[in-house]
Amino acid sequence: MLYSAKVMEHFANPHNVGELKDANGVGEVGNQKCGDIMKMYIKVENGIIEDVSFMTFGCGAAIATSSMATDLIKGKPLEDALKLTNKAVVEALDGLPAVKVHCSVLAEQAIKAAIADYYKRQGIDPTPIVGNLEECEACGHDHDSCSCN
């Protein structure tokens, strides 16, 4: 299994790691198939993600995609962060082996879960904004990005 130099760099020296104490949105997602767990913390001010961090229990690809995803949404409006796709994360890392692409889906879902939590804390129903975050029983992905459907 070959990883790109960017994947190796983000795995060896991940960015934005750790718990964000003043986070006002926290999302946790997991994949029952591989055991990866990803927790994303966001600090939102005036609709902008001012700070973001993550804690991931998983393989090198899960850590690298978490790191890259946080880089891609830091300083961005919530609307832009919601548009981040697993495909964009994979492309930013110069690709992932096919068997590891599910890790990038976790990063996308962790961001959506954190944003949904932020909206809930503001007293706003996140479903119309973020969508349905239910996970697929078969693979642990949400129904929208799941390849089992």
Active site residues: 34, 103
d(CA 36, CA 57): 6
From residue 84, alpha-carbon distances to 24, 74, 89 in Å are 20, 12, 8
Which tokens sit at 80? 């832009």
CA distance 48 to 74: 8
